[in-house]
Amino acid sequence: MTASLASQGAPEYLVAIFEALQFRGASIGRLRELKGMEWDDLLGWCDARQLTLVLPSLCGEALPNEVRHRIEQCQNRYIERFSRIKSQLFEITEALDTAGIEFIVLKGLTHSPAFTPNPLLRAQGDIDLWVPGDAVHQAREILTKIGYVSGERARSRHLSPMRRPSGWRWRGDRFDPEMPVSIELHFELWSERTERIAVPGLNGFWSRRAARTFDGHSVNVLRDEDLLGFAALHLLLHVLHGELPAQRAWEIASFLHNRAGDEIFWASWRRLHSSALKELEILVFQLVRIWFSCDLSRAVVEETNALPERVRAWLNTFSLSPLTRQFRPNKDELWLHLALISPADRVRILTRRLFPVQLPQSRFLLNRAAHHLYTFLPTLFQGARWFCFRTR
């Protein structure tokens, strides 16, 4: 994979970090050869994709002293921030428990140790709770009573993020301990209405929830099979929207690699998840396998044979596009989205990508329009013929 990445003109630091992140055939040789500004570029890239904190455990020997020192400072600030996140989480869960509102804690510290050995290696940005049905509005009222207010607009899967008012200002530090912690109350795990992709069986995640204890506090979390399913759907959502949460992709690859031989787990996974859900999961599993050379279980390999031909063709043709869009702008994820939905819905998705419903201010709109044209036209010319051939 890294050879293909280099052949497409990827910066040296990007090739170097992906060589170091491989589960099979990892190498830190290229990292050792980076100089000055290349390290600045690499750390900036890792900061934005939440990979910085895992670097010492994966490639510590290749890190120059000044880089190691910078990461240690980030770690120290994040330890303080993580302590605040946990404090607020436990305060919120206690308030919801007292009010008799049931919920599941998503992402964050619940991904350790299954996905990440230490939660301090997983840079958590906010707190996500799943509160299905009308109870989500009751949960918002409880949070309002303990000082949280709604901020940004709501998204398809959750209410408007909530946070406590503060005078904090962004200073360019993604590990700032004083950065306010946002709370996202999810009323659904996936929006078929928005993505036009049906994923039956997600309500089963709720009925299979399990209790775990963190620092003496018991909360409900997703069962491991469903934790993997939700992580895969979350990564797919980011990919379909042109984003690259690299750390989230890496931790899925880590889970797949470490549990590849656990036949009991994979038999349970096969039994519990619907065919439609498994198809999307397998797509993600194959994508992270290409990126990180992780092992896959026999069950996953067998399920891969059931992937639609057009999806396998996208993986063969465009799997590196999410990684290369930084230096070679593209919207190749659009072809994946169109390949996953019905012909009637393709028009809807294509229109949404070209003409956003919520219009920003005029100058920003013009800038975004120019950017979309710049990135979409190469995608259109390179992918239209491919897509028409694969989906007819």
Which CA distances in Å does 161 have to 140, 153, 188, 244, 381? Answer: 10, 8, 15, 21, 38
Residue 1 banded pLDDT, cuts 50, 70, 90: confident
Residue 377 banded pLDDT, cuts 50, 70, 90: low
User: The pTM is what?
Assistant: 0.91
Which CA distances in Å does 335 have to 348, 387, 390? Answer: 14, 7, 10
pLDDT for residue 378 is more than 70: no
| Rounded mean pLDDT, 204-232 | 98
The predicted structure's pLDDT at residue 356: 62
Contact call for residues 31 and 73 (beta carbons, < 8 A) = no
| Rounded mean pLDDT, 157-175 | 94
Residue 350 banded pLDDT, cuts 50, 70, 90: confident
Tokens of 213: 């204890």
Rounded Cα distance, 45 and 331, in Å: 20
pLDDT for residue 360 is more than 70: no
Residue 384 banded pLDDT, cuts 50, 70, 90: low
pLDDT for residue 133 is more than 60: yes
| Rounded mean pLDDT, 211-217 | 97
